[in-house]
Structure 1
């Protein structure tokens, strides 16, 4: 146990002793009587995590499923693995932002607020934040609204702060100078406007690169297979660099130097490129050839087989809704988009799933914090006897429990399949979303990925 922790514990015990000696009401006797808050908060964290899965996880794999690159059951399995890995390896930074940089911790100091105005209020408030945000996500999912879980949880915390002590309890700007002051609510809200713009610009650049080096070539299929390992390597380099350079302190990666992080990332990326050239490109070529044969057989079979497939979908419980007005609008967008060799597009199917998996990993590192952070607050206060601390989650003992418990249910989500999205354009969307997530998460920026993947796909379609 650290000296600073012991010092805080001694100060807290001294406060209780002095309050009792003066005949004053003891502000916060013990957290034992608030075990029910921990239990209910844990259940609500599961509920909130389920809401994240139902509303947000689809962002990573919806394009892959919609493009027919992967079946729904495999998408759910990959999402489960990648979301869990992202939350465990890189979830600490954003969790710390959500739990410690929205409300001012001193407002919950019993030495300042007096009896019943201390950590117990923070615990109960965090519990209610999970309840309110989870209910909102449930309602939004029912009405098929792709809302932001980040907006939901941070908005709930701001509402709690306003109800408790007004606008003064909100940590609008943090201490420091320059950009360091934008780590409070103002910076979080600003990131919600900046991140879609950043995502759109990155999507344009990635798609222009893919279009130039692959899709507009005389032999785009050969170009796609040739440059495929490079795209695999780029995705791996981005993720590995931030795992090593900005990884969780529990894993001993926090003090990795910039040069070491770059070296390790490029080493792993080059190794991945070589492996993919020998292990993935040959079966990928066979996959495209088989897909071409299947398409020819499908054209020969006619529309009768398509109708039978639709009937089978309904028999197993998948409802297919058809909106004529929406379909016409979407069709016009796709008709206006530039058309490329469908075989070349299909070459991106595997790359699309690969980048979607990394996108899901990044989502686990960022958005799972929305369910973990309030419960981390509850549990850490209960565990420490009500001692308020702004220490990062990754440095205290409560984060492993929070990450493992909340993330497991995050994957009970839905993936929508609408107008088939060409694999090349869908790959650009998921690759861009991965990069945009990975750049923001180590900075502790609580972004939302709905505008990110939306802007990525909108610009990639053109």
Structure 2
């Protein structure tokens, strides 16, 4: 058996391990606020995430992926096929180990930034510091500030609108029946655009902004009408505020399903990109900076994500949903809405932002609506520290693993 065949076998196991860690850490983006606000139970979150993440990964997951993570490292670094394969294997394992460690401590970190850090490590150890495009890394560092800030501001504005137009009025339930469908429609519009631009492009539906907006508007109108009809029969059962939160509970569940599908579509290829690169090199014997992702590799990633959610997802879900601040369905919905809007705007502007960072910012923004005292500053400091460590830790670990794999293979 050739060494390349052995490496491929190991790469399949490591690729599954990476997808497992994405399920364990990243899926909390979709489910953390819904569980924290008691909109759904942890068991329900696992089931919803498993179904929609898998569907997103397999139906709309990228069929072509940038194995070298979007020009982070000069392509001329990758000249020797065997060195490339060993480097990608080291990058995949390093990113997986970092995510595993972060999940163990319940810290939500960025999958994309973990892979970026790993590829940076491979570039440095292969060809030196000059091989890395540091301006790209600068953009990522900038996103650590921009994305949480944008997410937080939008989430806070949305919650304040809900507060002023519904919660502070004389008959909040009657107000919610009229205004909540508008929020549902807006959410449908934003998430449809997100899906069209970030997910469905993988299905070769190359739509213009105008066409996508038209589809988004259609979805928004349909969802608005359905929710308006459903909410017509909702009546206050004593506690008006509890009834309003009950209405937003359903909005949160819809949002969570949508976000899980979009996450599966977007992030599974980030995870298995290096694996797809290894498979392509073993098959063809040559290196390409982009690689086709076979359906079975997407399915492997989808199954890995599902297993990760089911076995370890509760740790990061607990952090986002309960440890940062106390969430209610109205606050949870505001945070999800803020995060989804930020991700859409940023992806249209070509900014490299992390969904994780954006959602954490949105949760913090909603909490600040009640003052700094509503925030658990100790956990916020731990989360920010883990973000700062992600790229250097993944890079350093990749260097070590690369040298070990070179000795072995």
* Match of residue 168 from structure 1: 130
Structure 2 equivalent of residue 191 of structure 1: 143
CA contact (8 A) 2:109 2:357 kept: no
Check if 1:281 corresponds to 2:231. Answer: yes
Match of 2:252 among 314, 338, 352: 352
Contact 1:56 1:450 in 2 (8 A): yes
2:356 to 450, 454, 460: 450
Cα distance in structure 1, aligned partners of 2:51 and 2:347: 19
Equivalent in 32, 35, 39 of residue 9 of structure 2 = 39
Using the TM superposition, give the Cα deviation of residue 372 of structure 1 relative to its aligned residue in structure 2, in angstroms: 1.7
Q: C-alpha separation between the residues in 2 aligned to 1:98 and 1:203?
A: 34
The answer to whether the 8 A contact 1:85-1:364 is kept is yes
Contact 2:48 2:257 in 1 (8 A): yes
Aligned length: 357
TM-score (normalised: structure 2)? 0.78
Between 400-409 and 96-105, report the one with greater CA deviation: 96-105
Is the aligned partner of 1:398 residue 2:293? yes
Cα 1:87/1:444, change in 2 over 3 Å:
farther
RMSD (CA atoms): 2.8
Alignment partners' CA distance in 1, 2:190 and 2:35 = 24
CA contact (8 A) 1:94 1:441 kept: no
| Closer, same or farther: CA 43–351 of 1 in aligned 2, 3 Å | same
User: Does the Cα contact within 8 Å between 1:367 and 1:448 map onto a contact in 2?
Assistant: no
Q: What is the SS of the residue equivalent to 1:352?
A: helix
| 4+ runs deviating over 4 angstroms | 88-91, 245-250, 441-446
2:89 to 127, 139, 151: 127
Deviations 1:355-411 (A, max 9, x none): 2222323333443343122212212323333132x44x5xxx425443322122213
Instruction: After superposition, give the CA deviation of every residue in 1:293-334 in whole Å (9 maximum; x if it has no partner).
Output: 9xxxxxxxxxxxxxxxxxxxxxxxxxxxxxxxxxxxxxxxxx
Distance 1:46 1:442, change over 3 A: farther
Unaligned runs of 5+ in 2: 370-409
Give the C-alpha shift of residue 93 in structure 1.
9.9
Q: Is the 8 A contact 2:61 2:202 kept in 1?
A: no
Q: Is the 8 A contact 2:148 2:361 kept in 1?
A: yes
Question: How far does the alpha carbon of each residue in 1:61-115 deviate from its partner, in whole angstroms, 9 at most, with x for none?
Answer: 1221122111222111111222234434655399538634222221212xxxxxx
Aligned twin of 2:32: 62
The answer to whether structure 1 residue 87 and structure 2 residue 57 are counterparts is yes
Kept in 2, the 8 Å contact 1:96–1:373? The answer is yes
- Which residue pairs with 2:168 in the alignment? 216
Q: In structure 2, what is the equivalent of residue 108 of structure 1?
A: 78
* Structure holding more helix per residue: 2
Q: Give the match for residue 73 of structure 1.
A: 43
2:401 corresponding residue in structure 1: none
Q: Look up the SS of the partner of 2:193 in the other structure.
A: helix
Deviation at 1:219, TM superposition (A): 1.2
State which structure, 1 or 2, has the greater radius of gyration over its C-alpha atoms: 1
Of 216, 235, 238, the residue aligned with 1:265 is 216
Q: Is the 8 A contact 2:57 2:268 kept in 1?
A: yes
Judged with a 3 Å threshold, the aligned counterparts in structure 2 of structure 1 residues 206 and 384 are, in CA distance, closer, same or farther, namely farther
Partner Cα separation in structure 1 for residue 143 and residue 149 of structure 2 = 10
Structure-1 separation of matches of 2:129 and 2:300: 33
Query: Which residue among 267, 274, 277 is the counterpart of 1:374?
Result: 274
- Which moves more between the two structures, 402-411 or 214-223? 402-411
Offset, 1:453: 1.8
**Paired position in structure 1 for 2:332:** 426
Could you state the TM-score of these two structures normalised by the residue count of structure 1? 0.70
Q: Distance in 2 between matches of 1:451 and 1:385?
A: 38
Question: Of residues 225, 228, 238 in structure 1, which corresponds to 2:180?
Answer: 228
Structure 2 partner of 1:152: 114
The answer on whether the counterparts of 2:81 and 2:287 sit within 8 Å (CA) in structure 1 is: yes
Pair 1:387–1:51, CA change in 2 (3 A):
closer
